[in-house]
Structure 1
Amino acid sequence: MVRRNEQRRAALVDAAIEVLAAHGARGLTFRAVDNQAAVPAGTASNYFSSRDDLFTQAGARVYERLQPDEATIARHQSARRDRETYVELMRELVDRVSSFRTGYLALLELRLEATRRPELRRILTERVRADVDANVAYHEASGLPGDAMAVKLLILTLNWLIVEQLTLPDVFSEGEREQLVTAAVERIVAAQ
């Protein structure tokens, strides 16, 4: 059995994310990952049992890299519990997710691919559902205004704003994006 180096595995998965973002799901091959990671041909096939395995691990890695760091979490936990803070948290979220452009584009590719791969769909569904539940639980424990429905509506709204920003960045200016985040929080949370 081939000894697996976890740092190399992570580098290969990160390379897979880059390939997905640049070339789409059809471009995700072991050879393309090897080239992107600048490793010898055949390396990726030693770490992943199949393309499905590569898709699955790339999806998990995107979510791992999208998580806020400890300093951000600590700052959020010590912030005021009002609508202004909520707006700022959502702006930070949009900025953090948007700054990992290739990761989010890879995630979009994975979601499209999940329509054709039942196992990938199952894994992504579990992951997204767990993220929604974690966001709702965090929100409920935080004391921020709004309820679980507001959290879910903001997830849906801000996800599409991020898609616009990453795929058609000239549709909305930076100022308009900030206004949209503010309006989404104010209108969705106020409706609760």
Structure 2
Amino acid sequence: MAGNPGRRAALVDAGVEVLAREGARGLTFRAVDTAAGVPTGTASNYFTGRDDLLRQIDARLHARLAPDPEVLAELMAAPKDRALVTALMQDLMGRVTHDRTGYLALLEMRLEATRRPELRASFTESVRAELEYGMEFHQRAGLPGGDETVTVLYLAMLGLILEHLTLPGVLDGVLPGTGVPEGLVETLVTTIVPER
């Protein structure tokens, strides 16, 4: 296996692009090489196989979509109330909208996991770890609600993000007076998160 970390990272990011654009069936080493602008055969020197590439894409996507530590620190200086939860969810929506390609690739990973048991196991583990981290973060921060609140909010945001990134017209005008997605984020948080 080749050991250039910069080249490996570029290949993984190219894999994200291919996955988002072509779906899992289009994710080949040749397509990754083309997207990365490297000679044919390069990706096969960096990954033991397609499963290895998918695992590394999974890890990269979680890093790409993670909150910016400085933005998070600034947000966390606010009172620990429903308004802060709204701001955190707005930040999440902003991140996935900004890196639409990354989130679409994450959705493709979910679909591929339904067809590949070995990927399903590792992907379930990484997504579950993110959910558990969210629960721990919520509790440590002293935000209103508990694990049930975080779980329901997670599911609601997942649905909103899915609609917003794939079929944004579905939600236009559904709830008068709410913008898509900003107003809907606030509506979700107000509906799910207790005041205290």
Give TM class, smaller chain: over 0.9
Partner of 2:179: 175
Aligned mate of 2:190, from 179, 183, 186: 186
CA shift, 1:191, in A, is: 8.7
CA distance in 1, matches of 2:9, 2:80: 37
CA distance in 1, matches of 2:151, 2:98: 22
Q: How does 1:29-44 map to 2 (within 5 A)?
A: 29-44=28-43
1:132 matches 2:131: yes
Partner of 2:175: none
Partner of 2:97: 98
Report which stretch shifted further, 22-31 or 96-105: 96-105
Unpaired segments ≥5 residues, structure 2: 173-177
CA distance in 2, matches of 1:54, 1:12: 9
Q: CA RMSD in A?
A: 1.6
TM-score normalised by the chain length of structure 2: 0.92
Q: Percent identical across equivalent pairs? A: 53
Partner of 1:11: 10
CA shift, 1:47, in A, is: 0.2
Q: How does 1:31-180 map to 2 (within 5 A)?
A: 31-173=30-172, 175-180=179-184
CA distance in 1, matches of 2:48, 2:116: 16
CA distance in 1, matches of 2:25, 2:189: 37
The change in CA–CA distance for 1:191 and 1:117 in structure 2 (over 3 A counts) is farther
Counterpart residue identity of residue 189, structure 2: V
Counterpart residue identity of residue 140, structure 2: A
| 1:53-90 CA-partner distances (Å, limit 9, x unpaired) | 11111111111111111202211321211111211211
Aligned positions, number: 191
3-state SS of paired residue (1:130):
helix
Runs in 1 of length 4+ with deviation above 6 angstroms?
none
Counterpart residue identity of residue 89, structure 1: L
3-state SS of paired residue (1:93):
helix
Counterpart residue identity of residue 107, structure 1: L
Counterpart residue identity of residue 168, structure 2: P
TM-score normalised by the chain length of structure 1: 0.94
